[in-house]
Structure 1
Amino acid sequence: MTEAPESADPRAPHAPGTPCWVSLMTPAAAAAEEFYRTLFGWEFRAGPLGRPVRASLHGREVAVIGQLPPDAGLSAAWTPYLASDDVDLTAERVRMSGGTVAVGPLDAGGNGRVAIAADPLGAVFGFCTAWAHPAPARGGGPGLPAWTELRTMSAVRVTTFYARVFGYEAEPPSAPDHITLRSGGRPVVALHGMGPDLPRALGAHWMPHFEVTDTDTTVRQVLDLGGRLLEPVHDTPYGRVATVADPHGARLGVVRRPGTLPRPRR
């Protein structure tokens, strides 16, 4: 688990490999908007064609929510976008390192160039032009991304792939097959090897964690809104954490950072 990056300059681009955007594709986009509006207080702005919509909080854009086609046969899922200084070069590195580029690179207007790829064990991720999503002047806050984690069969097996593609440096494992990757001198993503405990139907996947002021209260709210609790609330060195799913199955983590005061209980 790693904290969301900080920057002293709100105009500064993210370091390569830093999560700078997250996208949710779901079969029920309108219902997802209502769920996340209630849970995190997000506001939504429609795109030129209505969808996808952009979610923001306190003026900071947080995510995109898009509608899966009815016949897509895909489950709801979050996809992180990692910053790149050269999206075309990054795509070539993905291919040369054993991954697959599924979409792009292509131009996305004010978002620079973007692409979507999969690592050698099948985890899907995007990457985009670093300058198009400037790093925030402060680390985050409730309703904003806290960190991004890859859950995969073997973290060791994909560490070299991500290091070659984004130039990460790997920290020594914090636990068996738990590896944190650094960029620009800061921890930016975590790799969690789950071995046979990785859900077979889900496979390798990236999962965003969002900051909250009270993890226990947020989990109860998720359940009240029709979501599910996947991993119970527990304390870690990084805060009080739980893994949940929204009503259509998209997985995410919620975390109260150490030192954050919980909401008063009612």
Structure 2
Amino acid sequence: MSGSFIWYELLTSDAQAAEAFYTHVVGWGAEDSPNSPVKYKLLTVNKVPVAGLMSAKDAKVEGVPPMWSGYIAVDNVDAYLDRVKKAGGNIHTEPMDIPEVGRFAVAADPFGAPFQLFKPFKDSRGDYPATFTPGTIGWHELLSIDAEKAFAFYSGLFGWTKGEAMDMGPAGTYQIFNVDGQMYGGMMTSTNASDVKLWRFYFIVDDIDTAVERIKEKGGQVTTEPMEVPGDAWIIEGRDPQGAYFALTRPRK
């Protein structure tokens, strides 16, 4: 568990509209969190929470654009603060406790991509859905100003290792990274000013073509049409109606 993403969170300008969009597109259930000190919606698979969303207003961080971010599990949040700073990252909030859930702090890598450090109070996640279940997260991708240096940052903190480096032609190199010996995500450098340099998470859906239609039905944008990738999978990238970037993946039927 330590060193891997354990939770995913959407900060948005309209929580109600975002809930309607993602429950329709991804198929998540939604319920209010009983533990959060602010209004917080849990997104669920078979009633098991896998992600959450909240409004920037409720989080008291208005002015931050809608975005997804991820919580990386660590054994001691407070001890990691200096490690992040020494590695060139930044700490945006001091550690805070979520009653009965865990302790977290908001950080960012040297190039501004945000993530959260998180220490859960419970060692077990219970009946968490099996890998590749629709609604779970199947891939973790970072578009960075400097992917090589970004990898060094995360590798030094969390022990991630390099996997295959894929030549993408003029676009550069797509560096796959492993967590605990398993393929987990990829990083790529982009010098295009229009690219948003953030973590992007690939949500697994039941069918990629049907998901495209669901995105359009709810007012989202498909920014990258269905594309086949290694592993007999298909992906699409998009923006929700509030502007947050997201991605979907699934073998094509």
Q: Please say if 1:122 is aligned against 2:112.
A: yes
Maintained 8 Å contact 2:224/2:238: yes
Post-superposition shift, 1:242? 0.5
Matched, 1:55 2:43: yes
- What is the correspondence of 1:37-186 to structure 2 with a 5 Å cutoff? 37-48=23-34, 51-69=39-57, 72-129=62-119, 132=122, 134=124, 136=128, 138-175=130-167, 176-186=172-182
Structure 2 stretches lacking a partner, 5+ long: none
**Secondary structure of the equivalent of 2:241?**
coil
Q: Distance in 2 between matches of 1:215 and 1:81?
A: 26
Looking at structure 2, the residues matched to 71 and 167 of structure 1 have their Cα atoms a distance apart, in angstroms, of 31
CA RMSD of aligned residues (A): 2.1
Please give the secondary structure, in 1, of the residue aligned with 2:106. strand
User: Which moves more between the two structures, 172-181 or 106-115?
Assistant: 172-181
Q: Which residue of 2 aligns with 1:20?
A: 6
State the 1:66 CA deviation: 0.5
How far 1:192 moved relative to its partner? 1.9
Shift of 1:110: 2.4
Q: Percent identity at matched positions?
A: 26
Q: 1:133 to 1:191 in 2, by over 3 A?
A: farther
After TM superposition, the structure 1 = structure 2 runs for residues 193-232 of structure 1, keeping only pairs within 5 Å, are 193-194=189-190, 196-197=191-192, 199=194, 202=196, 204-232=197-225
1:198 to 1:132, Cα distance in 2 relative to 1, 3 A: farther
TM-score with structure 1 length normalisation? Answer: 0.84
Letter in 2 for 1:83: A
Q: Give the paired residue count.
A: 242
TM-score by length of 2: 0.88
- In 2, the alpha carbon distance for the partners of 1:208 and 1:185 equals 20
Query: Within 2, Cα distance between the matches of 1:45 and 1:169?
Result: 36
Match of residue 234 from structure 1: 227
Separation of aligned partners in 1, 2:91 and 2:246: 24
